[in-house]
Amino acid sequence: MNKKVVALVLCVFMFAALATGCGESKKFVNIATGGTTGTYFPLGGALADIWNKNIKGMNATAQSTGASVANVNLLRDGKVEVIFVQNDIAYYAANGTESFKDKKYEEIRGFATLYPENIQIVTRADKGINTLADLKGKKIAVGAAGSGTEANARQILEAAGITYNDITVQYLSFGEAANNLKDGNIDAAFVTAGYPTAAISDIAAQHKIVLIPVDDATADKLIQKYPFYAKDTIPANTYKDQTTEVKGVAVMAMLAVSSKMDEKTAYSLIKTMYENQERLKAAHAKGALIKPETGKKGMGIKLHPGAEKFFNEQKK
């Protein structure tokens, strides 16, 4: 009888040990992206797919969110492990400025910068808006309240001598802005995302669009005050019937994590991401720009040690 009891106890302990071992080997990684019509969402889905297929015990999922600012707060609250974020918003968070004034988040760490995110200012051709000055007195979608796009819109308008008092502000996501512009309920929208952006392509499929340029003088004034911006252009034929290139400005899309993520996990995630670029390219054209050699370009915050280890290896 005693032998049976001992055997039973041993079985229970062995089962518990196995269960514990399985729990420890499973890695859950939640990825905060952005709206479903932006660029973050498809790339986030591709990242989850890459990590699940190539890292043993990985359980990665991508979720649609309110993008940059919302993502930083999700990371701070421990609800996600990896976030897509604009480099300007990451800088604000790390330094406690702008949308993060009095809400400094010192534990945010850079993972990798990905590609330029152009601030695209779109309107319909029948609205008669061709310059930033023409936006005065109009209904303008500036992005979701507190989003990175909203900060970009406010700063660009400021550089152009326009305040929110000069326009009727509409706080709308990319998808909401696209629908309202198609229906004629608003006059123009700011969209910060890698081109081509699904929301703008959606408008262009139904209406002739105009991309409003940011002239050199305005761009210079903007960059002088906010050095994380860079001049960039949207090539001709990016969208239907857009026959000329459009001058503008851009920030960098990047990935960020918490300093609490262990170095081994971070290293494994970043190494696997760069080893599977074809999957990123298949998800979105911007995937072709996600390369190790540009992974620290525009990085305005501290790098996570796991990412730093990976980039140091690339120099050898």
pLDDT tens digits along 215-228: 999 999 998 888 78
Backbone φ and ψ for 228, nearest 5 degrees, come out as: -80, -5
Q: Are 180 and 170 in contact (CB under 8 A)?
A: yes
**Runs of H (alpha helix) within 215-304:** 216-225, 263-274, 277-283
Distance of alpha carbon 254 from alpha carbon 228, whole angstroms? 13
Q: Give the model confidence (pLDDT) of 216-264 as tens digits.
A: 999 999 988 887 888 889 999 999 999 999 999 999 999 999 999 999 9
What is d(CA 253, CA 84) in angstroms, rounded to the nearest whole number? 7
Residue 11 is predicted with a pLDDT of 46
Domain ranges within the chain, ordered by starting residue: 27-115+253-314, 117-251
Q: Are 259 and 107 in contact (CB under 8 A)?
A: yes
Strand partners, 120: 191
Distance CA 308, CA 25 (A): 24
In order of 107, 145, 190, the CA distances from 73 in angstroms are 12, 14, 23
Judge if 27-115+253-314 and 117-251 fold alike in CATH terms: yes
The answer for residues whose C-beta is within 8 angstroms of residue 58's C-beta and 6 or more apart is: 27, 29, 51, 52
Q: Contact 86/255 with Cβ under 8 angstroms?
A: no
Q: Which two tokens stand for residue 268?
A: 């494994």
Number of residues written out for the chain: 316
Cβ(115)–Cβ(252) below 8 Å: yes
pLDDT at 242: 95
- Residue 237: CA atoms inside 13 Å, Cβ hemisphere, count? 0
Type of residue at 10: L
Burial of 62 (0-12, 13-18, 19+ CB in 10 A): buried
Alpha carbons 33 and 188: distance in angstroms, whole number: 24
Can you list the residues of the chain whose pLDDT is less than 50? Answer: 1, 5-23
The CATH number of 117-251, from 3.40.190.10, 3.80.10.10, 3.20.20.190, 1.10.1060.10, is 3.40.190.10
pTM for the predicted model, two decimal places: 0.74
Adjacent-strand bridge partners of 118: 193, 250
The conformational region for residue 115 under phi > 0 = left, psi -120 to 50 = alpha, else beta, is beta
CATH of domain 27-115+253-314: 3.40.190.10
State the Rg of the chain over Cα. Answer: 23
Q: Please report the pLDDT score of residue 194 as a whole number.
A: 80
What are the φ/ψ torsions at residue 116 (nearest 5 degrees)?
A: -70, 140
- pLDDT recorded at residue 53: 97
168 burial level (CB within 10 Å; 0-12, 13-18, 19+): exposed
